[in-house]
Amino acid sequence: MVLIRETAPDEWPVLRDIRLTALADAPDAFASTYAREKAFGEADWQARIAGGGSFLAYLPEIDSAEPAGLAGCFELEPGVVELVSMWVRPKARGHGVGAALIAAVIDWAKVGDATAVHLWLNEDNDPARLLYQRCGFLPGGERQPLPSNPHLYEVDMVRPL
């Protein structure tokens, strides 16, 4: 059973550690870089949490202490929530963690009366694309260079609510 909870302010070191692990594990999956976020201080991580929409996933049958994954979201524009920072530890993949994190973001968006959730993903990340499709996301039709590596491209997906 996957447990999802919004990140508490005192959990900023936990959020920092899993985010840096994600950036090191999958550098071409994110718009940011390990080097950029490694330089963040406590205030930066606290600000990320204070805005709401920062989620940690736990999979007790694998590890009850270490988060199995994370996702973040924020209101991109009125009615549209942006899903960001989505990542699941390799040992937790295939256990429903990604779908549970996406559901938490969708629930967060609905509370704010959003009409859609939007995201960007590396166009070569087929496992992520398939997960998002299973969760109701559709191609958005846009393509752009990945900010952290302009030699790669990302595409957008949208889930109507």
- Identify the CA nearest to 157 among candidates 147, 135, 72: 135
Q: Residue 43 is part of which domain span? A: 3-160
Pairing of strands 80-88, 116-122: parallel
pTM of the model: 0.95
Mean pLDDT over all residues of the chain?
96
**CA 2, CA 99: separation in Å to the nearest integer?**
10
Question: pLDDT grade, residue 15 (50/70/90)?
Answer: very high
In order, the DSSP letters of 99-149 are: HHHHHHHHHHHHHTT-SEEEEEEETT-HHHHHHHHHTT-EEEEEEEEETTE
Kindly state the average pLDDT of the residues 22-39: 96
Rounded to whole angstroms, the Cα distance separating 78 from 83 reads 14
What residues pair up with 55 in beta bridges, in sequence order? 6, 71
**What's the structural domain count of the chain?**
1
What does the pLDDT look like over 33-79, one tens digit per residue? 999 999 999 999 999 999 889 999 999 988 878 999 999 999 989 99
* Reported confidence tier of residue 158, pLDDT bands at 50, 70, 90: very high
Q: What CATH number is attached to the domain comprising 86?
A: 3.40.630.30
